[in-house]
Structure formats: structure tokens, C-alpha cells
Structure 1
Amino acid sequence: MRKYEGVFVFKPELDEEQRNQAFDRIKEAIESNGKILEIADWGKRKLAYEINYIKEGYYYIVNFEATPESITEIERRSRISDAIIRYMVVKKDA
């Protein structure tokens, strides 16, 4: 298992329940083949640049351990979710 860090940016207009449901799907994908080490809820922040006329986003930073094969499932779920504006998963150095 390798260590990864994921950044997930959600649409700012979502209410807390909708955002939690979408984030739970991402957490399920991580926990199916790994474990979550830490979740940082950064809250609503201004984006560095506009994305489809959206100027703010709700940020979650997740540190986790997982197999390399499970990263494709995490990214697939992030890509098809309408609630997520942007996401990035990177491998942390040992």
C-alpha cells in the first residue's frame, strides 16, 4: 500500500447534506482497498481562477493509504460526480 494525498473541490452552492453524500462516495472508494489516515475540511475558499463561471469551491484534503489500482476507481468516481469541480490525487514520497 502506498500513501496518497487527494484534494477534492466541491461546488460552493451545495448544501451540507449533498456535499457529504458525494464525499461519502469518495471515502467508500478509498476504504474499499485502503484506509483513510486524515481528512482536513478546509471549507469554502476562493479559487485561483474561474472554472465554468464558478469563483469559489469547498475543499477537502484527504491523506490515505491505498493500492495503485484503487486510484483509478477514486478518480473515476470524482470525474463522474456533478458535485465535484476539480480533484487531484498524488502519491506522497516515502
Structure 2
Amino acid sequence: MASGTHIYDLTLLLDPAVEAERREQIVADVADLIDRTGEFIGRHDWGTRQTTYEVRKHPEADYHLIQFRGPSSLLEQLDHNLKITDGVLRFRIIKLRPGTPEPPDLRPSATAVVPEPEPVEAQ
């Protein structure tokens, strides 16, 4: 178990123009670093989405959320590694408050359109 008791969210915005294998490798490297010095809790891949505003001249990004526990040295190492990694458009690490709800399931298949019910004919 990691010495850190707080749960952290790492939100990664990756360049969708980079090949998929490289994006997966970036996420795998982050997960490996967390496993070595902290506790990996979960990963949510939200896919490529439109950004509210352009990030480094990119109108969309490949979104990933990683939840973990770890010491402050892990946070510093993640910050350093992600700043110098090609393919990372933006990232943010935040400490969650106790009682924070689970992240939403934003995968494209989870947000499918629900068909409308058929109209009932009057008799």
C-alpha cells in the first residue's frame, strides 16, 4: 500500500494526431510509474472529444482519467515526465475530497442515444 492516503485524479489530454500505439504507451508508462511508487486505483478512457477551446492549436483531444494514491514524490515525478513527453497536450493532477462521487462513464458506447418510445394511438 502506498504511503499516501489521498486519492488523486490525473486527467490526460493526448494529441489525437499521434498514432494510437504511442498514446497507449504514454498511458501505460504513467500506470507503470504509479504501480512502482503508489497504488493504481482505476483508469477511464473517454476517447477523442471536442475541446471547449483549442489546446496547443488542437480542437480535439484523446481524454484519459487515471485515479491513484501516492506520495508527493510520485506527483513531482508525474509532473516532470508529462511535461517533457511528446503527445501530451495537457494534464492536471487534483486531490479528491473524501466522499467525491465516482467519475462519469463518458465512453462513446456508454452515452449511446436511447430510442424514443413509440406513440400510443388514441382509440
TM-score bracket relative to the smaller structure: over 0.9
Q: Once structures 1 and 2 are overlaid, which stretch shifts more, 83-92 or 12-21?
A: 12-21
Question: Which structure has the larger Rg over C-alpha atoms?
Answer: 2
19-28 or 72-81, larger mean C-alpha shift: 19-28
5+ long unaligned stretches in structure 2: 99-123
Q: Does 1:93 align with 2:76?
A: no
Assess if the C-alpha contact under 8 Å between 2:14 and 2:87 holds in 1: yes
Contact kept in structure 1, 2:47 and 2:64, CA below 8 Å: yes
Q: Is the 8 A contact 1:46 1:55 kept in 2?
A: yes
8 Å Cα contact 1:25/1:77 also seen in 2 = no
Structure 1 letter corresponding to 2:58: I
| Number of positions where the alignment pairs a residue of Structure 1 with one of Structure 2 | 94
Aligned to 1:78: 82
Higher relative contact order (CA 8 A, sep 6+): 1
**Partners of 1:52 and 1:75 in 2: how far apart?**
18
Structure 2 length normalisation: TM-score? 0.72
Aligned to 1:3: 7
Residue in structure 1 matched with residue 18 of structure 2 by the alignment: 14
So what's the TM-score if we normalise by structure 1?
A: 0.93
User: Aligned residue for 2:45?
Assistant: 41
Q: Separation in 1 of the partners of 2:56 and 2:23?
A: 19
Cα distance in 1 for partners of 2:32, 2:42 equals 14
Deviation at 1:45, TM superposition (A): 0.5
Query: Any stretches of 5+ residues in structure 1 without a counterpart?
Result: none
**Partner letter of residue 52 of structure 1?**
R
Q: CA RMSD in A?
A: 1.0
Deviations 1:8-28 (A, max 9, x none): 000011222111111122112
* Structure with the larger strand share: 1
**Aligned equivalent of 1:58:** 62
Structure 1 segments, 4+ long, off by >3 Å, are none
